Structure 1
Amino acid sequence: MKRTFDQAGVNDLQEEVLTATYADRLAMINFVMSDLVGFMLAYFDLRLSQIQYLNTMSLALKTELSIGIADSWNNNLAVDFQKESSSVDEEEDTPKDIILSRYNSSSTPPVTNSLLPTGYFSIRIVYRNTAYR
């Protein structure tokens, strides 16, 4: 079943991934790593503008997203995903910023008393025309 690409849809998919058998989770991780766009198309009901965005996304961003998602799931952690709603018609290609945060102890020096586990990855999608509250 395809999900809506929103907070609830992403949370639902992650619950499925993190409660799956190790073999099934590994298959999903491999899918994300090998074909992020294909993964998104297979699991989410995307609007045309979202599909176009995925297809024009830079290789660097696709790589960073796929590695961050895969690392989190491999460490049995959900990705911290936050997607604001657009304040204009959702069918319109609304300008947005994608903010990524990552903590991986193999590449980042240890932080004293850090609450972020190894593999922590955060994706935040912020629409530029969304009024701040």
Structure 2
Amino acid sequence: MKRTFDQAGVNDLQHVVLTATYADRLAMINFVMSDFVGFMLAYFDLRLSQIQYLSTMSIALKTELSIGIADSWNNNLAVNFQKESSSVDEDEDTPKDIILSRYNSSSDLPVVNSLLPTGYFSIRIVYRNATGS
């Protein structure tokens, strides 16, 4: 079953992954690592603009996303995913920023954040307003 690519849809998929058998979770991890775009197409009902964005996404960004997701799931952690709603027509290709945060045991964390678990990964998608700010 394909999910909507929003907070609820991502949370639902992560629940399925993190409660799956180890073999099934490993298969999902391998899929996201080997074919990030294919993974997104297989599990999410994406709009045309989202599919186009995935197809033009840099290899570096796809790699960073797939590694962060795989590391989190391998450590039995959900990725902290936040996606704001677009303020304009959802069919329009609205400019967006993708903010990634990744913490692992080798990170030099500020004392205030020292309780973050190993493998913690966060993805935040923020839409820019029409004025470009």
TM superposition score category, shorter chain reference: over 0.9
Structure 1 counterpart of 2:64, one-letter code? E
1:15-94 pair list within 5 angstroms: 15-94=15-94
- 2:83, 2:110 → 1: CA distance? 27
2:108 maps to which residue? 109
Name the amino acid aligned to 1:10: V
Residue identity in the other structure for 1:80:
N
Matched-pair contact (CA < 8 Å) for 1:7–1:82: yes
Counterpart in the other structure of 2:100: 100
Once the two structures are aligned, what percentage of the paired residues are identical?
88
SS in 2 for 1:104: coil
The one-letter amino acid of 1:4's match is T
For residues 13-61 of structure 1, give each alpha carbon's deviation from its aligned partner in whole angstroms, at most 9, with x where no partner exists. Answer: 0000000000000000000000000000000000000000000000000
Partner-residue secondary structure (3-state), 1:81: strand
Whether contact under 8 Å (1:86, 1:130) holds in the other structure is: no
The one-letter amino acid of 1:60's match is A
| 1:51-92 Cα shifts (integer Å, max 9, x gaps) | 000000000000000000000000000000000000000000
Q: TM-score, normalised by structure 2?
A: 0.94
Relative to the length of structure 1, the TM-score reads: 0.94
